[in-house]
Amino acid sequence: MVNQRRSGNHVGRSRLWVRSALLLATVSAVTLTAGISSAVVTPTSGNVTISAVGDMDLGNTPVLPPNPTAYLLPIKAAIAAPIAFGNLEGTLTNSGSDSKCSAGSTECYAFRNPPSFAFAYKASGFTVLNSANNHSHDFGSQGVIDTSKALKAAGIVQAGLPGQIGLVHVGTTTVAFLDFAPYSSTNDMLHVSTAISLIHEAKTLYKATVIVVYMHSGAEGASADHVTGKTEYYYGENRGNPKLFAETMVDNGASLVIASGPHVLRGMEIYKGHLIAYSLGNFSSYKDFATTGVLSMSGILRVTLSRSGAYLSARFLSVHLAPDGQASLDGSGAAARFVAQLSREDFGARAPGIAANGTLVPPKGSVP
């Protein structure tokens, strides 16, 4: 990660290759059949509203918050939405074996929380969590298996493992989550043709009309707040070209693109009528992520789309991260101003403005 720790090498000693899997969202009740988790989200309107945040973990065993649900309580009300998404930066497992890091390593980081912490995320409102990142395989195949099992038990949709599509049924509308990172142990954004084929699969096979693409991509740290438009590297590792990938996904049917991974906020653009948020930064940790300077700023992105995936509205709520990583709303709006500035600098005429109340203001004529 940044400052306090460097991102661990994503190559573990063993990998779990997951065949194409379908995970259906759950909000009220869960039905388990043949490995499929299925439930129904009751819509409050004919549209689809999604709250999204960036990287999350809840400490690293044995350094854990005494009450993980209470730790997330300050942001529970702000996250509340029919669909609430975040990046799970680590594993949910009690297995300490098969760590990707050698004993005594000071430059490799492997993260795990108890499987029961999945229920803390659910109690806080999260309905979809991402596993396409460089920490999902920190404890080998057993860690992956345990994480998937824990999320299913809590009624949370998982997306991002190879071939995996997360589906949420909002009334009669099907929303597909397609999550990517620059690793072969996840849906691999470095293989663009495969990514495009997953979008087509979601549309044709599962009849999804709203396609949300997530990418865990880009360099890391306080100095990595700009979108370069080029392939980005971190400690020599190819972290993909976020701008090229995101715009390609929209070209091929994505309704919305959200991202994290740089551990710092980045700007947003309206591209061909669709919103791309290039990094939502860190969101919640417990003594794991650096929280100094711009790294103390985070946010909650709330987006409303039509049943067909058209952009309708969005709002960015500024969040402050305490020294221990706990997130709380920031009435000063510092994070929103920072994102608006980055957006103008990186995307010019395609940059949305952000009003004082956090409402995104797309450039005139940029959305239908």
| pLDDT over 80 at 306, yes or no | yes
pLDDT per residue as tens digits for the range 208-232: 999 999 999 999 999 999 999 999 9
Domains and their CATH numbers in the chain: 22-361 (3.60.21.10)
pLDDT of residue 40: 58
Higher pLDDT, 76 or 1: 76
Cα Dmax for the chain: 56
CA torsion through residues 123, 263, 254, 353, sign = positive
Q: What percent of the chain has pLDDT over 70?
A: 88
Say what the pTM is. Answer: 0.90
pLDDT of residue 98: 87
Q: How far apart are CA 167 and CA 254, in angstroms?
A: 14
**177: phi then psi, degrees, rounded to nearest 5:** -105, 120
Band of pLDDT at residue 43, cut at 50, 70 and 90? low
pLDDT of residue 108: 86
| pLDDT over 80 at 270, yes or no | yes
Q: How far apart are CA 39 and CA 28, in angstroms?
A: 7
The candidate with the shortest Cα–Cα distance to 95, out of 118, 109, 115, is 115
Q: How far apart are CA 109 and CA 133, in angstroms?
A: 13
pLDDT of residue 4: 41
Q: How far apart are CA 88 and CA 85, in angstroms?
A: 10
Band of pLDDT at residue 318, cut at 50, 70 and 90? very high
Band of pLDDT at residue 96, cut at 50, 70 and 90? confident
**C-alpha distance from residue 138 to each of 93, 99, 143, 335 (Å):** 10, 6, 7, 31
pLDDT of residue 97: 84
